[in-house]
């Protein structure tokens, strides 16, 4: 059972997302459709409350990651109170979660904190209070009946809801303030500077992997808990123990096995990591055996080379001695023969006559 399922069972609720503002500070672009982390802002908000019984988006129709009910305020662009009134007409749950469409860092933790606070005795709901101490009535959970009565009271007093500020509504309700870590979700995107800051923040070292996995799961249409640390350890073991390309392939196979067998990813990751470690152990053993064989072979080769070298030196010396002796004898003998021949030739020649 997931945390979302537990929250829904304890606090059944619908969600209303006002998404019909003009976004003047963004130049009139469709702000809920602006991408942060590869996902439209509106989809990021809807992903934080997947267990809402009904999700109502008030504003122009646009594609969404989950099925929603589309509604329009009267008049179109009439402001947050008119949007709340339009959304409530499609809700039947006892609690209504109200979320603006430009909250890139809204999480399930914040949703659960709001729902739990709204369920406390003696309150009409709960809203987020940001780090600067400002109330955020569009990041809130309201009990449906007190909210309807408050809207009726504003309409009766002012004649209409269009154009009325949120404070005239929140002042009519007993609301619990939620602070602490959950308040980080109050960051909204009103300007392009805000958009740029949000895009940079999701790429920070401590959050980028969780952001990426959440985006990938949404894109692939899957919902499962991912133990990032276990999978990273597995990828490391596969890369070091087998080969670098084994890392992504192994993590894919673990995910596939988990889906096919309905098993826990962490358990399967541990099994695959153990296999990779066995591969690594075998490689270490082989390396040690090869090194030992190389040492023994080197010693034997050195001894053989020394013996052969000595024999070659001895043979060469003997050959040189023999060649030297032969050369000397041959030279003396040849010189003797040459001398004898010359002498004989001299004796046989007639004496030359003196010149006249």
Provide the CATH number for the domain around residue 30. 3.90.550.10
Residue 298, pLDDT above cutoff 70: no
Q: Does one domain contain both 252 and 308?
A: yes
pLDDT at residue 47 tops 50 = yes
DSSP-assigned letters across all residues of 68-79: -EEE--SSTT--
Percent of the chain clearing pLDDT 70 (strictly above): 79
- Give the separation between CA 134 and CA 148, rounded to whole angstroms: 24
| Residue reference for tokens 């709960």 | 126
The percent of residues in the chain predicted with pLDDT above 90, rounded, is 47
pLDDT at 197: 93
Residue found by looking up tokens 């109170």 in the block: 81
Which of 175, 204, 233 represents a domain boundary (last residue)? 204
**Average pLDDT of span 72-76:** 92
Per DSSP, the residues of 147-166 read: HHHHHHHHHHHHS--TT--T
pLDDT category at 284 given cuts 50, 70, 90 is: confident
- Across the range 298-322, mean pLDDT stands at 44
Task: Share the mean pLDDT of the chain.
Answer: 81
Alpha-carbon distance values, 67 to 21, 55, 70, 100, 351 (Å) = 21, 8, 10, 18, 141
Chain center to CA of 213: 6
Same domain? For 33 and 178 the reply is yes
pLDDT of residue 295: 63
Report whether pLDDT(133) > 70. yes
What element of type H or E holds 125? strand 125-129
pLDDT over 80 at 175, yes or no: yes
What 8-state DSSP symbol labels residue 173? S
* Same-domain check for residues 133 and 260: no
Q: Among the listed ranges 145-154, 177-186, 189-198, 296-305, which one has the minimum average pLDDT value?
A: 296-305
Q: How many CB atoms neighbour CB 31 within 10 A? A: 24
From the list 215, 31, 4, the residue with the least C-alpha distance to 111 is: 4
Same structural domain, 191 and 63: yes
| CA gap 334, 326 in Å, rounded | 12
What are the tokens at 235?
């990828």
State the pLDDT confidence band at 288, using cuts at 50, 70 and 90.
Answer: confident
> 288: domain range?
224-313
**pLDDT at residue 238 above 70?**
yes
Q: Is there a single domain that holds both residue 139 and residue 248?
A: no
Q: Would 332 be classed as within a structural domain? A: no
Is position 56 within any domain?
yes
What is residue 282's predicted lDDT score, i.e. its pLDDT?
Answer: 84
Whether residue 21 contacts residue 76, with contact meaning beta carbons closer than 8 Å, is answered with no
Q: Is 319 part of any domain?
A: no
Q: Supply 296's token pair.
A: 């023994």
| Same domain membership, residue 30 and residue 124 | yes
SS3 33: helix
Give pLDDT, residue 353. Answer: 39
Question: Are residues 275 and 184 part of one domain?
Answer: no
58: nearest Cα among 26, 93, 15, 104:
15
Mean pLDDT across the stretch 240-267?
88
Indicate whether 311 pLDDT > 80. no
Please tell me the predicted confidence (pLDDT) of residue 184. Answer: 82
Same domain, 77 and 31: yes
The answer on 181 and 60 residing in a single domain is yes
Residue 52 lies in a domain: yes
Please determine, for residue 115, whether its predicted confidence score (pLDDT) is greater than 70.
yes
Residue 22 has pLDDT above 80, yes or no: no
Structure tokens at 160: 């209409």
Average pLDDT, stretch 320-330?
Answer: 40
Q: Do residue 142 and residue 248 come from a single domain?
A: no
212 falls within a domain: no
Residues 200 and 233 reside in one and the same domain = no
Among 239, 246, 237, 242, smallest CA distance to 271 is for 237
Q: How far apart are CA 248 and CA 233, in angstroms?
A: 12
Residue-level pLDDT at 293: 66
- Give whole-number Cα distances, 68 to 57, 85, 272, in Å: 7, 17, 40
Alpha-carbon distances, residue 116 vs 36, 51, 176, 218, 229 (angstroms): 28, 15, 10, 26, 30
Residue 331 in any domain: the answer is no
What is the pLDDT averaged over residues 212-227?
79
Where does the pLDDT of residue 203 fall: very low under 50, low under 70, confident under 90, or very high at 90 and above?
confident
Q: Which of 193-197, 288-292, 333-337 has the highest mean pLDDT?
A: 193-197
CA distance 241 to 170: 60
Tokens 């009134």 locate to: 85
pLDDT(348) > 80: no
Whether residues 136 and 41 share a domain: the answer is yes
- Neighbouring residues of 180: CB distance < 8 A, sequence distance ≥ 6: none
The pLDDT value recorded for residue 345 is 35
Judged against a pLDDT cut of 60, whether residue 355 lies above it is answered with: no
Domain count, the chain: 2
pLDDT digits (tens, 9 = 90+) for 179-195: 988 878 999 999 999 99
The stretch 32-56 carries a mean pLDDT of: 94
Q: How confident is the model at residue 41 (pLDDT cuts 50, 70, 90)?
A: very high
Q: Say if residue 75 is preceded by a cis peptide, omega within 30 of 0.
A: yes
Q: What was the pLDDT predicted at 7?
A: 53
Query: Which domain-ending residue is among 204, 235, 265?
Result: 204
| pTM for the whole structure | 0.69
């Amino acid at each position: 059972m997931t945390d979302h399922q537990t929250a829904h069972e304890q606090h059944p609720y619908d969600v209303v997302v006002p998404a019909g503002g003009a976004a003047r500070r963004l130049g009139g672009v469709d702000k809920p459709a602006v991408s942060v982390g590869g996902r439209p802002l509106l989809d990021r908000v809807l992903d934080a409350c997947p267990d809402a019984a009904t999700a109502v988006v008030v504003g122009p129709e646009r594609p969404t990651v989950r099925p929603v009910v589309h509604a329009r305020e009267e008049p179109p662009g009439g402001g947050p109170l008119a949007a709340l009134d339009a959304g409530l007409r499609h809700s039947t749950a006892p609690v209504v979660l109200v979320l603006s469409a430009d909250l890139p860092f809204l999480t399930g933790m914040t949703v659960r904190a709001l729902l739990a606070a709204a369920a406390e005795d003696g309150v009409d709901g709960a809203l987020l209070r940001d780090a600067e101490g400002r109330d955020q009535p569009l990041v809130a959970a309201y009990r449906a009946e007190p909210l309807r009565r408050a809207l009726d009271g504003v309409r009766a007093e002012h004649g209409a809801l269009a154009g009325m500020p949120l404070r005239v509504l929140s002042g009519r309700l007993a609301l619990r303030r939620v602070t602490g870590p959950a308040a980080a979700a109050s960051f909204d995107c009103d300007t392009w500077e805000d958009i740029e800051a949000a895009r940079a923040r999701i790429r920070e070292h401590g959050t980028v992997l969780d952001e990426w996995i959440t985006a990938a799961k949404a894109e692939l249409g899957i919902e499962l808990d991912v133990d990032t640390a276990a999978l990273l350890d597995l990828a490391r073991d596969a890369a070091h123990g087998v080969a670098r390309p084994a890392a992504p392939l192994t993590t894919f196979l673990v995910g596939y096995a988990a889906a096919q067998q309905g098993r826990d990813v962490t358990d399967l990751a541990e099994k695959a990591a153990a296999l990779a470690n066995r591969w690594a152990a075998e490689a270490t053993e082989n390396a040690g055996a090869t090194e030992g064989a190389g040492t023994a072979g080197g010693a034997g080769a050195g001894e053989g080379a020394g013996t052969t070298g000595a024999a070659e030196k001895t043979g060469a010396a003997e050959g040189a001695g023999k060649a030297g002796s032969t050369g000397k004898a041959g030279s003396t003998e040849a010189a003797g023969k040459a001398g004898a021949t010359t002498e004989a030739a001299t004796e046989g020649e007639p004496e030359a006559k003196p010149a006249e």
